Structure 1
């Protein structure tokens, strides 16, 4: 029987407000080997977690980041002797039959150790998987196998065999937000996994890039730079793409806000501190 630990990381969002938790919890009733692991990075714990006695709820008010939370989920999965780890963001909207898609695909492809769904933004733009360098003009075809080295995969929806997760060393906890997924998936590649299977199920990610407050944008940008600075050199293609991302993001914010402060922060907090 396929056993899955489904890990959801919360931050300043209660269980009752999380689309990922609500839709996942509604679907686990018939799956006795799927456990929900909730890691709450919010300053205050959600007291309503007691209304869900069949979930594991851990609270970390210090907010040690995504990497720490996912590694904690892997330790829990190992302790409970679960074979797979499925990661979800708090605001990912899951379709009906979400878990069935994973179970069916894992059963049909026992040689694969990495499965991901199609993830779209609310307006229908494809968000993940997407090409590293070459423009992706057409959506990928679900139900097919693709090479990891050509694509970027976000954390949410990623399902990895626990033995592969452990062999890779898990998430780098110094990369606590941005670049956590790209570094982790690259580590999976270096651990010997070359392919991922694209599931037919479609998820939607509530992602907003409409923030206009300059101070909030600058604060968020500093986090981005800090995480980028903490990334390890795994190989040249990974390093080169990260530099491309930092340059592109810096220029995009500079042009969008017409503020040179983003360029200044990029130079002083990233390029000069490497």
Structure 2
């Protein structure tokens, strides 16, 4: 399904709250914040009511430089992850009457026309309540990485470059660059704190689809992004990789079918083989092989039960220890 520009009457300015989550990086050094501020200059306040929040997950906090006027800053020195950060800002957007929430990681590159295009889309799609999200195409290393859908509910397939419109089935997209309808995300309870980081976006879009919402894919709008999983040796700790493997397995165990779970086993087997020829990835390869053995020789029921116990403890400890420091810089 495609929606032409002249199919929907354009109302007055829409409202968007943008959040940039940083980790061990000064906000002023974030490519996302830099390009967000640059693209904001290309859209007027009459077209888009915009607010920007920088959420800092740096453990222990950090001293930062002065940020531009109007940019709010929140420090979460316990590093609670992405899901809790986005939920806090979702609540802020709801309280202040923003219709849309733009979620961003620290290392994206937004094109100059990003907010202009988003402004047009949110105005035109605002009255279409079934649209729960608007997503661009995300590019990493010259390859499209997001959004995607599943063939036979098992095999992930990317949308072709430049695809614009609404896909009839479930659509999955990266957190960074996603424009979410605040009411739609609130209706499903926000981000699931059981998936605080790597599967937070997959879980969110899965539940949006289950609630009857659809995703508008703006393939004419592309943005660059650096995915941590593509450079594990320098971007991920072993502990985070372990957590990512467990969360990945839990999501597929709980929400995907046998064919999809088999596809993941094949996928991780290929990953382990590739890591065999990368000496610096030896520790990650061992973890990948251990995870493959667990998926092959531990029952699905036992895997889910063990994950629920571990993930519940992680969620509760993170929520209890989070103390926010909010200020305008």
Bin of the TM-score, shorter chain as denominator length: 0.7 to 0.9
The separation in 1 between residues aligned to 2:65 and 2:89, in whole angstroms, is 17
Return 5+ residue gaps in structure 1 as ranges.
none
CA distance, structure 2, for counterparts of residue 143 and residue 174 of structure 1: 32
Per the alignment, residue 136 of structure 2 pairs with: 117
Distance 1:115 1:212, change over 3 A: closer
Contact 1:3 1:33 in 2 (8 A): yes
1:18 aligns with 2:44: no
CA distance in 1, matches of 2:158, 2:216: 20
Q: Aligned with 2:247: secondary structure?
A: helix
Between structure 1 and structure 2, the one with the greater Rg is 2
Partners of 2:164 and 2:259 lie apart in 1 by 30
CA deviation map 1:68-123 (0-9, x unaligned): 0110110111121111111111111000011111111122233133211111113x
Contact 1:225–1:246 under 8 Å retained in 2: no
User: Which residue is equivalent to 1:176?
Assistant: 196
> 2:50 aligned with 1:34, yes or no?
yes
- Equivalent position of 2:307 in the other structure: none
Closer/same/farther in 2, CA of residues 187 and 59 from structure 1, 3 Å limit: same
Change (3 A) 1:219 1:202: same
2:160 maps to 1:144: no
C-alpha distance in 2 between matches for 1:23 and 1:128: 19
Gaps of 5+ in 2: 1-12, 277-284, 305-329
1:273 aligns with 2:289: no
Contact 2:83 2:191 in 1 (8 A): yes
The Cα of 1:192 is off from its aligned counterpart by: 1.6
Partners of 1:80 and 1:138 in 2: CA distance? 35
CA contact (8 A) 2:149 2:158 kept: no
Q: What root-mean-square deviation, in Å, do the aligned CA atoms of Structure 1 and Structure 2 show?
A: 2.9
1:90 aligned onto 2:111: no
User: What is the rounded CA distance, in whole Å, between the counterparts of 2:81 and 2:102 in structure 1?
Assistant: 17
Report the secondary structure of 1:117's partner residue.
strand
- Work out whether residues 60 and 78 of structure 2, in 8 Å CA contact, stay in contact via their aligned partners in 1: no
Cα drift, residue 217 of structure 1: 6.7
- Shift of the 85–138 alpha-carbon distance from structure 1 to 2, 3 Å rule, reads closer
The secondary structure found in structure 2 opposite 1:169 is: coil
Q: TM-score by structure 1 length?
A: 0.85
Q: How many residues align?
A: 268
